[in-house]
Amino acid sequence: MISAYPPDAFPAAGPRDSTRCDSTENPHEQTAPRITALLGRLDLPTDGVRDYCELLSEAFARRGVRLDLVQLRWENVGWRKALFNLWKQSRAWKGRVVFLQYTALMWSRRGFPIGALGVLAILKIRRVRMGAVFHDVSYGPARGWIQCIRCACQIFSIRTVFRCAEIPILTVPAPQLPWLPFDSSRAAFIPVGANFPPVEPVTLCKSLAATPTVAVFGVTGGVHIAREAREIAKAMKHAAARLPGLRLDVFGRGALEAEPALHKELAGANIALSISGVLPAGEVRARLAQADVLLFVRGSISSRRGSAIAAIVSGIPVVGYRGAETASPITEAGVLLVENNDGAALAEALTRVLADAKLYTDLCGRNAEVTAKYLSWDAIAAQYSQILSRKM
């Protein structure tokens, strides 16, 4: 369910008002348990956290539980007015479970998420049963005094939210998170899902196409484009030397920005290149279903990497880097991982997956098992329900 609060602070994202039950509503919904997911600034052109909440809401509805989405659009009206409206609208939330969705940039413009602490204070005063879902998991090394202050602010904010949350949810296992305070044992780990509607369970492993397609879902923008384009091209050229006629399909965030660099790096190679920008969820699902392998070069794979999980849920193997965040259940899925920044090993791994039919079939089968157990939206909602049943 999507809330339709006053448009200046909580712009309507859908036709329903989560604060009332109309006579046209499903009678079952009127008595269903209600939970609220509280989001901050809207990320454009796509907002992975909002997609996460919307798909989780649909999965909860299938279990007879109502999850309302409330988006605090402070970037439109300013913090003062946004917090005032939150204060008014949260008047009826006493005793309700409210999951604050946390990333540093959701609650700040420049990475100083002090505003989240104001939201936290209101929720505590309103005596909600506060949960928090931590979509941020780590912070890079600080360089320069401004960055040092920013990182210190982020760590202070995320630890404060964690300590105040009755139901903290991590999207990466606790051992992979250096910022966690000592009382981290009470946190629960739930991996994110794919940011598109549920797909039919993968029961039969697909076979490699005669002309395999390698998908790249998203490219990091800015200064990382040149490096990632080189790594993608190096892996594709290595594989094409053994398997001529490969296709490369690049789409999602950063793809159009990376187009000139990819054309330059792949010049003269016998590789068909297709590049698209941000696509609707259904088109993403179709592109992944048509591909044979996902090549992931945007850092290390983990349970919060929605693009990698989208490929796993779609049943295709993933070739990428392992790193500090890489842990189960991702390591149980159909992934072939190499050490971070080892481009030569990445190229060899991609070639192995495309050339070894038995390995390919095994990886596809592992994807089906991990999706059913951990990564489908119904499985994720079930994990939430188990946690909430212990807390209620």
Phi/psi of residue 126, each to 5°? -75, -5
Give the integer Cα–Cα distance in Å for 374 and 381: 10
Q: Per-residue pLDDT tens for 188-202?
A: 999 999 988 776 655
The CA distance from 164 to 157, in Å, is: 11
Number of domains in the chain: 2
For residues 175 and 219, membership in a common domain is answered with no
Q: What is the DSSP letter of 27?
A: H
Least confident segment among 29-33, 152-156, 193-197, 254-258? 29-33
Are 314 and 288 spatial neighbours (Cβ–Cβ below 8 Å)? Answer: yes
Stretch 153-179: mean pLDDT: 91
pLDDT band at 1 (very low <50, low <70, confident <90, very high): very low
Q: What is the pLDDT of residue 9?
A: 40
Task: Tell me which of 375 and 142 has the higher pLDDT.
Answer: 375
SS3 category, 307:
helix
What confidence tens digit (pLDDT) does each residue in 240-298 have?
A: 999 999 999 999 999 999 999 999 999 989 999 999 999 999 999 999 999 999 999 99
Q: What percent of the chain has pLDDT over 70?
A: 88
Contact 362, 334 (CB under 8 A): yes
Structural domain span for residue 275: 213-375
Q: pLDDT at position 205, please?
A: 60
**136 and 153 in a common domain:** yes
To the nearest whole percent, how much of the chain has pLDDT over 90?
71
- Per-residue pLDDT at 26: 46
> Does residue 348 contact residue 236 with C-beta atoms inside 8 Å?
no
Single out the residue of 43, 23, 26 nearest to residue 104, CA to CA: 43
**Are residue 179 and residue 230 in the same domain, yes or no?**
no
Instruction: Report yes or no on 198 lying in a domain.
Output: no
What integer pLDDT is reported at residue 386 of this predicted model? 94
Q: Are residues 185 and 221 in the same domain?
A: no
Indicate if 184 and 223 belong to the same structural domain. Answer: no
Task: Say what the pTM is.
Answer: 0.85
pLDDT at 379: 95
Determine contact, residues 164/130, Cβ cutoff 8 Å. Answer: yes
Residues 226 and 370 in one domain: yes
Residue 343 and residue 386 in one domain = no
Give the pLDDT band of residue 27 (cuts 50, 70, 90). Answer: very low
Question: What's the chain's average pLDDT?
Answer: 87
Q: Give the pLDDT band (50/70/90) at residue 391.
A: confident
Q: Are residues 141 and 233 in the same domain?
A: no
Looking at residue 176, what is its pLDDT? Answer: 83
pLDDT digits (tens, 9 = 90+) for 300-330: 999 988 899 999 999 999 999 998 889 999 9
- Determine contact, residues 112/153, Cβ cutoff 8 Å: yes
Average pLDDT on 334-346 reads: 95
CA distance 11 to 4: 6
For residue 362, the domain's CATH number is 3.40.50.2000
Residue 59 to residues 66, 96, 271, 386, Cα–Cα distance (Å): 10, 19, 40, 14
Give the mean pLDDT of 361-383: 94
Lowest average pLDDT, out of 51-60, 203-212, 224-233, 373-382, goes to 203-212
Are 171 and 135 a contacting pair, CB within 8 Å?
A: yes
Closest CA to 320 of 231, 225, 196: 231
Are the C-beta atoms of residues 231 and 261 closer than 8 Å to each other? no
Amino acid code (one letter) for 138: S
Task: Let me know whether 364 and 385 are in one domain.
Answer: no
Indicate whether 2 belongs to any domain: no
The answer to whether residue 232 sits within a structural domain is: yes
Q: Do residues 327 and 346 share a domain?
A: yes
Mind listing the pLDDT tens digit for each residue in 81-127?
999 999 999 999 999 999 999 999 999 988 899 999 999 999 999 99
pLDDT of amino acid 41: 95
Give the phi and the psi of residue 187 in degrees, each rounded to 5: -80, 150
Task: Give yes or no for residue 8 having a pLDDT over 90.
Answer: no
The pLDDT score that the predictor gives to residue 33 is 67
Q: How many CB atoms lie within 10 A of CB 4?
A: 18
- The answer to whether residues 253 and 300 belong to one domain is yes
Short-list 281, 222, 223, CA closest to 251: 281
- On whether both 243 and 266 belong to a single domain, the answer is yes
Is there a domain that residue 297 lies in? yes
